[in-house]
Structure 1
Amino acid sequence: MTAIHRTPSRGLASLLVPLLAGGLVVLALGVYGRAHTPTGHAVGVAGFSAALPMKAWLTTGALVLAFVQVVSALSMWGRLGIAVPPGVHRWSGRLAFLLTIPVAFHCLYALGLQYDVPRVLAHSLLGCFFYGVFTAKMLALPKRDTPGWTLPVFGGLAFTALVGLWLTSAFWFFTAVGIKV
């Protein structure tokens, strides 16, 4: 068996496009969120009493699926000693991402990027960061010459951002307003 020698600069160079694209997503969402005049109108709350419960529950669903992502990733990398069925990681990630789309759309369209309240500022910035790091991870995924730490770090950052988003939104809603549907 021959050893594969990766040159550090080659592996890092392969991250240039994913990182630039992720950075552009962060910047574009932030600029749009700040420049766009928020409508203040709820969008797509079918099945929910209002926009805030919809966002809280969809974000909670995404968070639960993010935990599935962590467990299935650890299993795929042989860190748990248990096998997770094939496709669980991929499909839980897809579903988690899909659950975030109506939430992000509502946040950007109806509310915009806000900076008056520290919790809301943190939430706005975490939202932009989440989509940027998610973009970088998805673009780095098919590249075989990236450093071995790429996917765990990008995945960990996406997970951390999603936890932060949940804490600054759904957790806040459930503790300040109550559990409503």
Structure 2
Amino acid sequence: MGVVLIPLLVGALVAVGLGVFGKVHDPQLFSINIAGFSGPGYVKSWLGTLAAALAIGQVLSALVMYGKFPGVTAPTWIGPVHVWSGRLAVLASIPVAVHCLYALGFQDFDTRVLAHSLFGCFFYGAFTAKMLLLSRKGVPGWALPVVGGLVFAALIGIWLTSSLWFFSNNEIKF
């Protein structure tokens, strides 16, 4: 059990640490802008959408690797696709998370914003736990799918409370 408990505790510390830092630090005037986008909200929403789409690819490739699609044999390339889609999803999320953490901090002025802040902290904590579990020997077979599912659920929660909300309240453009 310790083989799972320690990564989970470290992940919990990361999640709580991000939340505390986001709440106590003074948000700075800081903006994420990428050429070709009409503003920071669009950059963040499209990067979040890219991360969510790659996360869906993660789930599908994991289901293929674990033999959960009857009659589908995992091709040899599915493992590298799974790894790289995960790397790219996290890479797409980093500029968004940095902007949210430093420019906005942990906010709770309404339910959607509070949920978004909680999902964001939980995502990086669960991601940390998953990465630590991947590098450990003797991890029970259930642990990676469960923690991976939590990472996925948190990222989709982030997307629902940010990108989907933004696109629902603004014209969809770049």
**Fold in common (TM above 0.5):** yes
Quote how far apart the aligned CAs of 1:15 are.
1.2
Q: Given residue 125 of structure 2, which amino acid in structure 1 is its aligned partner? A: G
Residue identity in the other structure for 1:54:
V
2:163 aligned partner:
170
Q: In structure 1, give the amino acid aligned to 2:146.
A: V
For residue 13 of structure 2, give the secondary structure of its aligned residue in structure 1: helix
Say yes or no: does 1:41 pair with 2:30: yes
Unaligned runs of 5+ in 2: none
The worse-fitting range, judged by mean Cα deviation, of 162-171 and 16-25 is: 16-25
Considering only CA atoms, is the larger Rg found in Structure 1 or Structure 2? 1
CA deviation map 1:140-179 (0-9, x unaligned): 0122312211000000000001111000000001111120
Could you tell me which amino acid in structure 1 is paired with residue 103 of structure 2?
A: A
User: Superposition pairs for residues 131-142 of structure 1, below 5 Å?
Assistant: 131-142=124-135
Correspondence for 1:24: 13
Counterparts of 1:2-21 in structure 2, within 5 Å, are 12-21=1-10
What is the TM-score with the length of structure 2 in the denominator?
0.93
Q: Distance in 2 between matches of 1:62 and 1:166?
A: 9
- Is 2:74 aligned against 1:83? yes
Sequence identity, in percent?
56
- Alignment-derived partner of residue 51 in structure 2: 62
Distance 1:22 1:162 in 2: 15
- Count of residue pairs brought into register by the alignment: 170
Give 1:44 shift. Answer: 4.1
What are the ranges of 5 or more consecutive residues in structure 1 without an aligned counterpart?
Answer: 1-11
C-alpha contact (below 8 Å) 1:19/1:136 kept by paired residues: yes
